[in-house]
Amino acid sequence: MAPPELVADLLDGKHRALARAITKIENRSEGYRDIVAALHEHTGHADVVGITGSPGAGKSTLVDKLAAEYRERGLTVGIIAVDPSSPFSGGAVLGDRIRMGSNVGDMDVFFRSMSARGTLGGLSTATSDAVKALDAFGKDKILIETVGAGQNEVDIVKTADTVAVLVPPSSGDDVQMLKAGILEIGDVFVVNKADLAGSDKTVQELRGMLEMRERDPDDWEADIVETVANTGEGVEELLSVFDAHADWLDRTGKRDELERKRYAEEIRTLLRNDAGALVEDEVERRGGMDDLVERVVRRETDPYSVADDVLEPFRDAVRHND
């Protein structure tokens, strides 16, 4: 059962309760699923923006400036910074960084650093659950800054309504290295540190690649915005693009479509995870993986037969329910 007082306090706008709930969610503590389930009916109001891109692109500085500008507009902000996971503890190894300097002390900007927990896309189920907590709490805008540790950031589309891909100015090599998946997920491409040499070339390279990108005529046409996050230059223009994309999502019905796809993927993920846990328990009941492998090595059985044997009780249970 979800702690009723914790859920009630969170819905009542108490930041301590929000922090406690997200801690339970991130640690997958007992009762976390009940908390998320209890909050679900109160979600669906926040606008979620994902900020991704390669390390060194200036994501943290830009997120800080975006949050400050949202606050200037009277909006409340939740920020989740997805950090690389520690190989030992699974915790966020960069979690102690003071990354949101402009918004320190502002209670209407809630910042949380979370672990990617080894997921290739830099996001985990816990992150999307934390977004739900921020949404239910009543945050107007939720910013997700991904780990940016490679080209596998496409998981962000499963959580964010609008995705901004940051690209640092260069000779164009970074643009050429962008995989098709990254190009496909971007609703806006941000050439940050645009005051540095090479920014014009990077914009041209990006524009050329986006023109070659296959898209339906009714789809959103990705924008390119130049920013200098350190000074805040270009931030208002970027927020205007975010607003335009949000309006487009609402006007075309794409937001509802995104939400349905998101929940379908979440249900599939939960089913895979829960079914996998049941299978692991069954493997242990049969003596553990080492014993099963040893039997395969001795040619007493084969991997397909092992899988069939382990899954047989589950098949029997399904047939019985039929």
CA distances from 246 to 17, 114, 197, 249, 256 (A): 29, 26, 32, 5, 12
Four-residue CA torsion sign, 125, 131, 133, 136: negative
Torsion of CA 307, 309, 313, 314, to 10 degrees: 20
Q: What is the pLDDT of residues 72-111, one digit of tens each?
A: 999 999 999 987 654 444 444 444 344 555 666 678 999 9
| pTM for the whole structure | 0.87
- Strands (E) in the chain, as ranges, are 47-53, 77-83, 109-115, 141-145, 162-167, 188-191, 223-226
What is the C-alpha to C-alpha distance for residues 140 and 79, in angstroms, rounded to an integer? 11
- The residues, any chain, with a CB within 8 Å of residue 31's CB and separated by 6 or more, are 1, 2, 3, 24
Low-confidence ranges of the chain (pLDDT < 50): 86-98, 118, 120-122, 149-152, 171
Nearest to 76 by CA among 140, 137, 12, 161: 140
How do beta strands 188-191 and 77-83 pair?
unpaired
What is the C-alpha to C-alpha distance for residues 137 and 42, in angstroms, rounded to an integer? 8
What is the C-alpha to C-alpha distance for residues 91 and 27, in angstroms, rounded to an integer? 9
Q: What is the pLDDT of residues 213-255, one digit of tens each?
A: 777 888 999 999 999 999 999 999 999 999 999 999 999 999 9
Q: At 316, which amino acid appears?
A: D
